[in-house]
Amino acid sequence: QQVIWVGSEAEADAVRVALERWLNKGYDAVNRSSASNTAGESLVPGLRGFLKGAVAAIYYYPITTVLFAVCLIVAIVSGLGSYPDRVAILFYPTLTSNGLLTLLADIKSFSDLSRTFTPMFLHFGELHLIFNMLWLWYFGRQLESIQSMWSFGALVLVTSFVSNTTQYMVNDANNFGGMSGVVYGLVGYTWVIHKLMPKSYLSLNSNMLAFFVVALVGMEILASSLVATAAHVGGLLSGLVLGGGVVFYNRYVIHQSAVGHKPANR
C-alpha cells in the first residue's frame, strides 16, 4: 500500500484523476496486447494450412507448382509486361525463320535453345495470367499425378517449343509470350487419352474441348493482332499428336487399358 500526502483537497482530486488515467491506460494496453495475441493465434492455423497445402503441391505436382510459381514471379518482375526490358532474356531468340530446318540450324548456344521455351513464362495482363494459371493448375495436376515427372516435363517442353516456334515462324517476331500454347497442348493431350482410353484417371469432356476450340476461333476473329493464335494452334496440334502416340504405345506395345497409374493422392 502506498500513501501520497498532498497539501489540499484540490491537489488530492488531481492525483485521483491522474491515477485513474494511469490505471485505465494500463488496462487498455493489456487489452490491446490480448487482442493482438488473439489475432496472431487466429492467423496461425491459416498460415499452417497454407504451408501444408504448398508442401503437398510441391510433393505431388512439382513441375506444375514450379511453372505456376515462376509465372507469378515473372509477372511481378515485369509488371505484367509493362517492363519487358526486365525480362528480355525470356523472349524467343532472334533466329532465321524462313524454314524449320534453317531455324533449328541457327540455334548455336544453350541460351538460344532455352529461350525457345521461356516465352511461356511471359504474361501481358491480369486476365492473360489468370486464365493460363487456372487451366495449367487444372490440367497439370491431373497429368502429373498419373505420369512420371519426367514424362510430364517432356510434354511441357515439347508443347512449349512447338507453340513458341510456330508463333515465331508465322509472325517473324518475338513479341509474344504466355503459357496458353502449353495449356492448349495439355488440352489436346488430355482429350485424346480420355477419348481413346477412358479408363485413364483424367477428367475432361467434349464440351470442355469445344470451349477451347471456340475460344481459339473467337480470339482469332476478334483479337487476332493481340493474341498468339499460331502458338495456340501449334500447342493444340502437338498435344493431340503426343496424346495419340502415348495411346498407341500403351494399347499396342505394352498392352495396357489405361495411361499411367492411379494418382497417389486419391
- Which CATH number goes with the domain that contains 132? 1.20.1540.10
In the chain, how many domains are there?
2
Asked if residue 262 belongs to a domain, the reply is: no
Regarding whether 193 and 73 lie in a shared domain, the answer is yes
Asked if residue 76 belongs to a domain, the reply is: yes
Regarding whether 71 and 5 lie in a shared domain, the answer is no
Please give the pLDDT value at position 220.
56
User: Tens-digit pLDDT profile for the chain (266 aa)?
Assistant: 566 666 667 667 776 777 677 677 655 554 555 555 555 555 666 667 767 777 777 878 899 999 999 999 999 999 988 999 999 999 999 998 788 899 999 999 999 999 999 999 999 888 889 888 988 998 999 999 889 889 999 999 999 999 999 999 998 888 899 998 999 999 999 999 988 988 888 877 667 777 777 776 666 555 444 567 889 899 999 999 999 999 999 999 998 888 877 776 65
Please give the DSSP secondary-structure letter assigned to residue 93.
Answer: P
Asked if residue 66 belongs to a domain, the reply is: yes
Regarding whether 126 and 8 lie in a shared domain, the answer is no
What long-range pairs does 96-99 form, CB within 8 A, spacing at least 24? 97/168, 97/169, 97/172
Please give the pLDDT value at position 31.
54
Regarding whether 206 and 150 lie in a shared domain, the answer is yes
Regarding whether 143 and 30 lie in a shared domain, the answer is no
Q: Which three cell numbers stand for residue 94?
A: 532472334
Round to whole Å and give the CA distance between 113 and 50: 36
Please give the pLDDT value at position 64.
95
Burial 155-166 (b: 16+ CB within 10 A, else e): bbebbbbbbbbb
Regarding whether 231 and 175 lie in a shared domain, the answer is yes
Asked if residue 51 belongs to a domain, the reply is: no
User: CA dist 194 to 143, 158, 205, 247, Å?
Assistant: 11, 20, 8, 10
Q: With the C-alpha atoms ordered 180, 181, 184, 190, is the resulting torsion angle positive or negative?
A: negative
Round to whole Å and give the CA distance between 110 and 93: 11
Type of residue numbered 124: F
What long-range pairs does 15-21 form, CB within 8 A, spacing at least 24? none
Domain that holds residue 168: 61-253
**pTM of the full structure:** 0.76
Asked if residue 213 belongs to a domain, the reply is: yes
User: CA dist 248 to 62, 102, 147, 253, 258, Å?
Assistant: 27, 31, 16, 7, 11
Q: Where are the alpha helices (DSSP H) in 61-205?
A: 62-78, 100-105, 110-115, 126-146, 149-171, 180-196
Regarding whether 206 and 107 lie in a shared domain, the answer is yes
Regarding whether 14 and 76 lie in a shared domain, the answer is no
Asked if residue 38 belongs to a domain, the reply is: yes
Regarding whether 133 and 14 lie in a shared domain, the answer is no
Regarding whether 98 and 28 lie in a shared domain, the answer is no
Asked if residue 130 belongs to a domain, the reply is: yes
Q: Which three cell numbers stand for residue 40?
A: 496472431
Taking the CB of residue 81, how many other CB atoms lie within 10 A of it?
Answer: 18
Regarding whether 113 and 17 lie in a shared domain, the answer is no
Please give the pLDDT value at position 98.
82
Asked if residue 258 belongs to a domain, the reply is: no
Please give the pLDDT value at position 211.
77
Type of residue numbered 12: A
Round to whole Å and give the CA distance between 123 and 178: 5
Regarding whether 71 and 28 lie in a shared domain, the answer is no
